[in-house]
Amino acid sequence: MAGLPPKGARVLVAMSGGVDSSVAAAILMEHGCDVVGVTMKLHGDGADVPDRPCCSLDATSDARRVCEKLGIPHYVTNLVDHFSHDVLDDFVQEYARGRTPIPCVRCNTFTKFRDLLHKADAIDAPWLATGHYARIGHRHGQAVMVRGLDTSKDQSYFLWGIDRPVLDRLVLPIGAQTKAETRDIARRFGLRTAEKIESQDICFVPDGDHVRVIAEHLGADAPALQPGPLRLASGEIIGEHQGFARFTIGQRKGLPGGFAEPMFVVEIVPSERAVVVGPREALLGRGVEARELNWLAEAPPVGAQVQVQVRNRARPSPATIVRVDPQGIELALDEAVQAISPGQSLVVFDGDVVLGGGIIERGMRAAPDRVPGKRLPILAA
């Protein structure tokens, strides 16, 4: 099968206990690979273990039983400390700064792939596989990350931060199929995860109450959880909120009514503990700046035309690179984009190829000045 390692090659498969990673292991096993399953232990034992489809004790048990069904070994690797430092601490601190983080990106970037590659090296496995809906392709002789074939399930948005050399060892067996096809394969193999519900929420916030997590780590008296003004961009105070960490850019829920048009959160000002609200039009931005860049292909030059996503499931937006350097990237958007939120991911594409990404620092109402002259392609044909 195209895109899979040679028969007999040893592959370490990251198994969450869900149907996607189960089928990834099954495909590789049927292909004739020497498959080893591994589940990441991300949470401590006891009451703090989330009750959810992945990352729970039941999920680990499901992964083990799938491996038993497939006749492959299964191991558990303890990444509790790494996950707490790389993902959970960052999640709390970002909300404390009035930003909106994506912990799945942090987990992929700093915990999952780096630690699992060390595990793969320890068992002499040249390959690492996951159940992500994305693909590995090749361009100009180099491995590249490509969107999943099913755009409704594509997960490439969450993978921009992995180390570029990982692409040479990464296998994504389900990236060219739909979720329905994945479930059909699971049924064919008789896997217990075939009908398992999808994981939707943050693994360490199974009840959706991220404020509780912040309070547990920073204390209920943290500034981000204290009352502050709800105000308009003009400075007029229209109410009081109970902590800016409860809000994110684009949010409508929890805001006072009585306006001629719906109002949304358009800015969070931590230094003033203020949440600024405005009409939908105030959410629109024509420029974006991001930092903490990571490139999975050659960095595009200033003036290049690209497509960008500022949220998962957002429609790709054409843009022009105005500045790119080790400190960050700045882009002018061809059309206004809604709710550009600091802390979220900016992912840069050339067609279906993931060029790289970064963490959004700010959105801009007006487009930054474009480079004069002809706009450049990404790479020469």
Residues that constitute the known binding site for ATP: 14-21, 40, 131
β-pairing verdict for 274-279 and 263-269: antiparallel
Q: Give the H/E segment covering residue 116.
A: helix 113-122
What's the CA gap between 168 and 164, in Å, rounded? 8
SS3 content of the chain, % helix, strand, coil (to 5): 30, 30, 40
Q: Where are the beta strands (DSSP E) in the chain?
A: 10-14, 34-41, 74-78, 127-129, 134-139, 142-147, 170-171, 228-232, 237-241, 263-269, 274-279, 284-295, 305-309, 317-325, 328-338, 345-350, 353-364
Cβ atoms within 10 Å, residue 295: 17
Residue 127 contacts residue 8 (beta carbons within 8 Å): no
Select from 178, 174, 172 the least CA-distant residue to 150: 178
Active site residue 107: yes
What's the CA gap between 26 and 195, in Å, rounded? 16
What's the CA gap between 312 and 280, in Å, rounded? 20
Cα dihedral 156, 157, 162, 168, rounded to 10, equals 20
What's the CA gap between 165 and 175, in Å, rounded? 19
Active site residue 55: no
What's the CA gap between 35 and 30, in Å, rounded? 10
Place of tokens 């049924």: 187
What's the CA gap between 143 and 163, in Å, rounded? 12
What's the CA gap between 321 and 91, in Å, rounded? 29
Residues taking part in catalysis: 107, 203
